Structure 1
Amino acid sequence: MKSLSGILSVACLALGLALTALPAVAQQPKPASPAAIAAAKEILAMKHADAMYANAVPNLVHKTKDQLLQSNLNYQKDLNEVEVIVAQKLAGRQKEIGDGMAAVYAQAFTEQELKDLVTFYRSALGQKLLTAEPVAIQQSMAFMNQWAQGFAEMINGEFRAEMRKRGKEI
């Protein structure tokens, strides 16, 4: 489970970085070629990006049911039953997220760049990157959190020391 959360963190980071290119892309919309979309989908598949949104439909259906339940407590049994029906009816729609992500990549990179990335990710170093990077990012995040906690304690100590100089204990 811990590695899944690490992968999800990496995937969110990658998506965030990809989406930062979106405003620039929005200014110059040009349709991506089918080959670029295919290469982008292959890259996302190699990165297991689908793990990031695999449960999007059931999670959103459940969240909606919970919101409706807050103002309709007397319909709890019905809403629980309808949740299953709606989730089944909308199953598979998370594929739209993957298609959208591929379009973002296809706008952010040229077709040739995407093909070069596919070639790279198929190489030994690319395979190592796909395996090692999520772990390295997870460990980096853990380091940053530890550093921030220690630094925050130091800052707290500085505040207390400065306030003591003013004759005020906090």
Structure 2
Amino acid sequence: MKSLSRILSAAGLAVGLALTGIPANAQQKQAPAAAPALKPASPAALAAAKEILAMKNASAMYASAVPNLVEQTKNVLLQSNLNYQKDLNEVAMIVAKNLAGREKEIGEGMAQVYANEFTEQELKDLVTFYKSPLGQKLLSHEPRAIQFSMSYMNQWAQTFAETVNGQFRAEMKKRGKDI
């Protein structure tokens, strides 16, 4: 379960990092990218999608989304308003309190996405699968497998980066430029 927590924390961090651009985009007055239109889902499909997400403990990925975004926004505002640090810290607590619980919108949206990608029957079949012994094993072992996969990919990338760097240096040396 600890590895699931780590994976979900990493996923939460990824979501947080992806969302870090939101305050910057607001400052730049750029329109956010439109989310793809989702087809309406039946209540049964949404219920099955929510059950799958609950079994996967998906809420752990976005549980801290609101406080993280409040903190990130405060930090962006602090960069250009250092004189208001005390006020911004106080306001951050108010804003976080006012917006507490809004992260549940992410779960609703994720359920909509699942219901858009899978038929109602497929979702019901997935629920049945996840309740089976193999499905339970997948739920309990997949986070560890993902963690080890990510670790492998990072190690591979570091080694491969050395190969790429070597190729760059060799090609530049052919041009008479040692780098």
Partner of 2:133: 124
Distance (whole Å) between structure 2 residues aligned to residue 169 and residue 30 of structure 1: 57
* SS of alignment partner, residue 31 of structure 1: coil
* SS of alignment partner, residue 146 of structure 1: helix
Partner of 2:66: 57
How big is the shift at 1:164?
4.5
Distance (whole Å) between structure 2 residues aligned to residue 164 and residue 113 of structure 1: 57
Partner of 1:71: 80
Distance (whole Å) between structure 1 residues aligned to residue 70 and residue 10 of structure 2: 23
Give the letter aligned to residue 44 of structure 2: A
Give the letter aligned to residue 71 of structure 1: S
Distance (whole Å) between structure 2 residues aligned to residue 149 and residue 64 of structure 1: 33
Number of equivalenced pairs: 158
Percent identity for Structure 1 against Structure 2: 71
Asked if 2 retains the 8 angstrom alpha-carbon contact of 1:57 and 1:94, the reply is yes
* Unaligned residue ranges in structure 1 (runs of 5+): 14-21
Distance (whole Å) between structure 2 residues aligned to residue 10 and residue 88 of structure 1: 24
Structure 1 position 138 matched with structure 2 position 147: yes
The CA deviation string for residues 72-115 of structure 1, in whole angstroms up to 9 with x for no partner, is 22222122111111111111110111001101111111111111
Structure 1 position 47 matched with structure 2 position 53: no
The CA deviation string for residues 51-86 of structure 1, in whole angstroms up to 9 with x for no partner, is 111001111111222222223222221221111111
Asked if 2 retains the 8 angstrom alpha-carbon contact of 1:9 and 1:138, the reply is no
Distance (whole Å) between structure 2 residues aligned to residue 55 and residue 91 of structure 1: 10
Give the letter aligned to residue 65 of structure 1: K
Partner of 2:110: 101
Partner of 2:91: 82
How big is the shift at 1:165?
5.1
Q: Which has the higher contact order (CA 8 A, sep 6+)?
A: 1
Structure 1 position 115 matched with structure 2 position 124: yes
How big is the shift at 1:47?
0.6
Q: TM-score, normalised by structure 1?
A: 0.80
Distance (whole Å) between structure 1 residues aligned to residue 131 and residue 4 of structure 2: 22
* Unaligned residue ranges in structure 2 (runs of 5+): 16-34
Q: TM-score, normalised by structure 2?
A: 0.77
Give the RMSD, CA atoms, in angstroms. Answer: 2.4
